[in-house]
Structure 1
Amino acid sequence: MTAVAAQPAAHAVDPRTARKVTLAGCVGIFAELYDNGIFGFMAGTLGAVFFPDATHAVQVQLVFLGYAVSFFFRPLGGIICGHLGDRMGRQRMLVFVIMLISVATAAIGLLPTYASIGVAAPALLILLRVLQGFSVGGEASGAMTFLAEHAPDGKRGLYTSYAQIASFLSLLTGTLIAAGMTSGLGADAMESYGWRIPFLLAIPLGIAGLYIRKRISDTPNFTRLREEGGLSKNPLKEAFSSSEHRRAMLLALFIPLMNGSGYYVLFSYMPTFMSGELHFGKVQSLLVTAASLVTISLAIPFMGALSDRIGRKKVLMAAAIAMAIAGVPCYLLIGTGNVALALIGACVMAAIFAGHTGVIHILLVELFPTRVRYSAYGLGYNISSALFGGTAPLLMAFLISRTGNVTMPAFYAVITALGTLIAVSRVSDRAHLPLRDA
């Protein structure tokens, strides 16, 4: 007789529950990342409000410095929220983090300006960005873990891809709101009071997200493990004690490298890059950014579903190779100053990046068992975001100002794509296997 290792039984999710779970996972991601669009489009305005004595280039760099600082608190959020999420449950932590991010984002809209309280104003801005970074550190890994553990076998890639759509739609929403207000109110009014309004809109977003998340139950995997008495007493310590988990955390650090050139440069930094360095008009910058965001939002679910069929590695490796090849030509198209060519370059890169961002999170989820998943996945991914993601806009602004070379983002795209390719080649694909509990 052949002994077969016991695996958790495949589970089905009824359509109504599937909709509730997906909405609960996505609404928090939307609220968490909405402010990235605001910062990306209003970097110049925020620089004038909080750093009025500096030159425009330095103002933008200082805003992105505050943006980058928050990312270094993501690992702390991942550690604390991950530990509590693996011990107390995913649902409780998802409620907590959406409360924290909503309060921190809205509080930015209430800050006094540099003209009112001097250097304390930018200090408070950075403090609130730190709170945002902490909460996002708990949100990213928590929401993806929540969606994956609820998803039926064979559809985990598709389910988790929905949260990535929410992240890019939130970026688009923040960009459109900031752009619409800038166009409607004018530069003087925006610097006077208009910059506050997009941040204050986080209040209704947070209330809606809190209401939805409080009405959902925890994941089947976590509930089963808790009932069996199988929860880890110290998930992160357990993860570090295992050579398999240490290797997986190292992979979780390097596989997301393409996020730096994708999400944080192609989308967050692009409006500032196009208007400040390439001298596009604000409407033209918005058009290119919006078109690329729509493109990636349409492509993401296709990539997630494709990874369910052919595996995560094949999709991710294809995306990394394509980015390494197309990164420089696409940025050269954007750098021509021609809107039509810029649209083509940005949309091609967005479609390629969908193969990374639509699949990366489910691959990382599948690297770890339920006992340590939230903690270990959150730590590796959030350290990667801190080192290679949030610093990317600041790095690009600094390198371009020092070298005068506006193709720096293209080189960054190629380097990060090659790094991701090497890391993904070391992964064992678990797309067609059930999630592990231990």
Structure 2
Amino acid sequence: MAEATMPSGEHEDLSVSDVRMVIAASSAGTVFEWYDFFIYGTLAGIIGKSFFPADNATLQILLVWAGFAVGFGFRPLGAVLFGFIGDKLGRKYTFLVTVTLMGIATAGVGLVPSAASIGLAAPIIVILLRILQGLALGGEYGGAAIYVSEHAPPNRRGFYTGFIQASVVGGFVLSVIVVLACRFLIPAEAFDAWGWRMPFLLSLALLAISLWMRLKLNESPVFREMQAAGEIAGNPFVESFTYPGNKKRIFVALFGVTGGLTTIWYTAFFSSLSFLKGPMRMDETTAEIVVGLAGLVSMSFFIIFGKLSDKIGRKKPIMIGDILTLILLFPAFWMMGSFANPGLAEAARRAPVVITGTDCNYDPFASEQATPCGKLLQDLTGLGVSYEVKPATAAQAPGGLDLAIGQRDVRLDQAAGGFPWADKAARQAQLKTWLEQAGYDFAKQSPPLASLLGIGAVLLVLGALSGLTFSSVAALLSEMFPARIRYSSMSIPYHIGAGYLGGFLPLIASFIVAKTGNAYAGLWYTWVVVAIALLVGWWGLRPGPPRDFEDDVA
């Protein structure tokens, strides 16, 4: 079905200053809104201590990532709600509402008293504020992406919208910069006590700037033309699923585009930061600086590859990015681990940890495990030590439990009187002593400059993979759907993919790591999602140069 989506002459009427204002205002608002959303993840460790205290360190971080995922889980609902409003009332005023909601909700997190002060009410309030953030973000991205896309000439649409894609990374980078600045300006003890709230409260200032810039903008030319022609959709949500060919387009957009790109993006930046600060035990400030700088440089990839997609088409960069991710994902993290903490990999190779026994079930969501073997696995996971579990042997007594750390064998069932099973702190201290005697180093790591450059290079590779798959998505999705239902049609698959497949990645990956005892096992989640995206995208995306929707008769 053909549909005219771009009014003739609109782009030629825009001056250079007008174009710059459209891109700057839309991008700045997107940076600020994603900053608001990402600051929670950047401060995950402190968030856990303040709002989700637990005796089990693994449980605490899982609860934090669960709160992170809740925000993403409500993004599709926000996409439906604000997509409907955006297709009915306009692009401009819809994303004015979303950025306001996001700013207020983010500042609210910074004002919530800790769980130590108000108990269970603290995490409940934080979760409710995360829900508001998710709703706001569900409407923000589609509005900003479509607004820029509908102002862009067709031959520069990928380049213009590349700034919106770079702004997503910019939000993450800004969150890291603000946290580092606060750590530098506020003493460590004060930062842990109250200083961490300042990045959240800064959201009010960013909100004011964003509103000031966006109020200067006019409505998009495409929406104005539809208004003049009386072509506004009656029910954009319903039409998104009844418009001819749209169900296939939504399926391809979800599983062939957004699912893959969001898991690559979150793996490249959030998983890498969590990996360095967690299992690799890298100094937090150093890790944040390295990842932040790599993210800052990586922003250029989104603009470069967006511009490239205007010349070679949208499909080719995405497919190349998916294929390279499947090839390079595990080697990239192995290299990053060897640069960040080479002693850990060497200790694991020289003195592998093997547990042999029965009832070796580990529940990461339990504060304390029910069985001795479960307690042992919990302690090892909390220390970030990889392990292998083997079934009990015939020579073992019923309920027996053996621990091997390299050449050292400990029969814990026979040594029960000497091993403090009931005293959690003493038990963990004894286990840590044995591991240190075997060569494991649990001190915070400060890698030399050469290693930091190596980590940075790996992060840039991951950033380039994200740029290949992410840079042209705003232009691609705008071109996939008819203008009358574009806001709804592109927002729904984007935010389901980003909200569930991408947003739940930290929680799912952390759970896999906790269950397997392997710091790299969580990468399999990313690998599988990207493999599915490659297959669906190869089948469903149009090859060749970019084309407006009127050229699509599917």
TM-score (norm 2): 0.75
Displacement of 1:339 in angstroms is 3.1
Distance 2:275 2:181 in 1: 19
Distance 1:437 1:197 in 2: 50
- Structure 1 residues 433 and 173, CA gap change in structure 2 (3 angstroms): same
- Structure 1 residues 154 and 74, CA gap change in structure 2 (3 angstroms): same
Q: Which moved further from structure 2: 303-312 or 268-277?
A: 268-277
| Conserved 8 A contact 1:291-1:347 | no
Q: How does 1:290-329 map to 2 (within 5 A)?
A: 290-329=292-331
CA distances 1:325-383 after superposition (whole Å, capped 9, x unpaired): 11111111112124343222221111121111111222111110110100111111111
| Conserved 8 A contact 1:312-1:363 | yes
Distance 1:397 1:203 in 2: 32
Distance 1:103 1:436 in 2: 40
Aligned length in residues: 435
- Structure 1 residues 59 and 68, CA gap change in structure 2 (3 angstroms): same
Q: How does 1:120-159 map to 2 (within 5 A)?
A: 120-159=121-160
Displacement of 1:263 in angstroms is 2.3
Whether 2:285 is the aligned partner of 1:283: answer yes
1:365 aligned counterpart, secondary structure: helix
Distance 1:28 1:5 in 2: 30
Q: Which moved further from structure 2: 199-208 or 46-55?
A: 46-55
- Structure 1 residues 15 and 429, CA gap change in structure 2 (3 angstroms): farther
Distance 1:163 1:280 in 2: 32
Distance 1:435 1:131 in 2: 33
| Conserved 8 A contact 1:46-1:63 | yes
| Conserved 8 A contact 1:303-1:354 | yes
The counterpart of 2:523, out of the listed 410, 414, 418, is 410
The counterpart of 1:273, out of the listed 272, 275, 278, is 275
Extract structure 1 runs of 4+ deviating beyond 6 A: 4-7
- Structure 1 residues 242 and 227, CA gap change in structure 2 (3 angstroms): same
1:434 corresponds to which residue?
548
2:155 aligned counterpart, secondary structure: coil
| Conserved 8 A contact 1:370-1:436 | no
1:89 corresponds to which residue?
90
Greater C-alpha radius of gyration: 2
Displacement of 1:429 in angstroms is 4.7
1:280 aligned counterpart, secondary structure: coil
2:500 corresponds to which residue?
387
2:32 corresponds to which residue?
31
The counterpart of 2:510, out of the listed 397, 408, 413, is 397
Distance 2:29 2:544 in 1: 27
CA distances 1:271-293 after superposition (whole Å, capped 9, x unpaired): 22211111111133123312320
- Structure 1 residues 397 and 262, CA gap change in structure 2 (3 angstroms): same
1:230 aligned counterpart, secondary structure: coil
Distance 1:186 1:49 in 2: 18
Whether 2:376 is the aligned partner of 1:376: answer no
1:200 corresponds to which residue?
201
Q: Which moved further from structure 2: 213-222 or 417-426?
A: 417-426
CA distances 1:267-317 after superposition (whole Å, capped 9, x unpaired): 123322211111111133123312320232111111000000010011111
What letter matches 1:432 in structure 2?
Answer: P
Distance 1:61 1:186 in 2: 28
Q: Which moved further from structure 2: 333-342 or 171-180?
A: 333-342
What letter matches 1:159 in structure 2?
Answer: Y
| Conserved 8 A contact 1:153-1:434 | yes
| Conserved 8 A contact 1:179-1:286 | yes
Distance 2:277 2:122 in 1: 26
Task: Give % identity.
Answer: 31
What letter matches 1:276 in structure 2?
Answer: G
Name structure 1 gaps, 5 residues minimum: none
Distance 2:311 2:264 in 1: 24
Distance 1:192 1:66 in 2: 21
Distance 2:76 2:5 in 1: 31
What letter matches 1:433 in structure 2?
Answer: R
Q: How does 1:210-221 map to 2 (within 5 A)?
A: 210-221=211-222
The counterpart of 1:361, out of the listed 474, 484, 487, is 474
| Conserved 8 A contact 2:3-2:549 | no
CA distances 1:95-125 after superposition (whole Å, capped 9, x unpaired): 1111100000011111111111100001000
2:153 aligned counterpart, secondary structure: coil
1:154 aligned counterpart, secondary structure: helix
- Structure 1 residues 203 and 437, CA gap change in structure 2 (3 angstroms): farther
| Conserved 8 A contact 2:37-2:133 | no
1:157 aligned counterpart, secondary structure: helix
| Conserved 8 A contact 2:36-2:103 | no
2:175 corresponds to which residue?
174
Displacement of 1:43 in angstroms is 0.8
What letter matches 1:381 in structure 2?
Answer: Y
1:195 aligned counterpart, secondary structure: helix
2:462 corresponds to which residue?
349
- Structure 1 residues 5 and 215, CA gap change in structure 2 (3 angstroms): closer
Distance 1:430 1:7 in 2: 20
2:66 aligned counterpart, secondary structure: helix
Q: Which moved further from structure 2: 111-120 or 173-182?
A: 173-182
What letter matches 1:80 in structure 2?
Answer: L
- Structure 1 residues 96 and 157, CA gap change in structure 2 (3 angstroms): same
- Structure 1 residues 401 and 326, CA gap change in structure 2 (3 angstroms): same
1:371 aligned counterpart, secondary structure: helix
Distance 1:242 1:73 in 2: 25
Displacement of 1:6 in angstroms is 7.1
Name structure 2 gaps, 5 residues minimum: 341-450
Distance 2:274 2:530 in 1: 23
- Structure 1 residues 373 and 437, CA gap change in structure 2 (3 angstroms): farther
TM-score (norm 1): 0.94
Distance 2:32 2:3 in 1: 41
| Conserved 8 A contact 1:324-1:417 | yes
What letter matches 2:546 in structure 1?
Answer: H
Q: Which moved further from structure 2: 280-289 or 141-150?
A: 280-289
Displacement of 1:7 in angstroms is 7.5
| Conserved 8 A contact 1:236-1:375 | yes
| Conserved 8 A contact 1:165-1:300 | yes
Distance 2:37 2:545 in 1: 31
Between Structure 1 and Structure 2, which shows a larger proportion of helix residues? 1
CA distances 1:56-98 after superposition (whole Å, capped 9, x unpaired): 2222111110010111111111111111110110011011111
1:109 aligned counterpart, secondary structure: helix
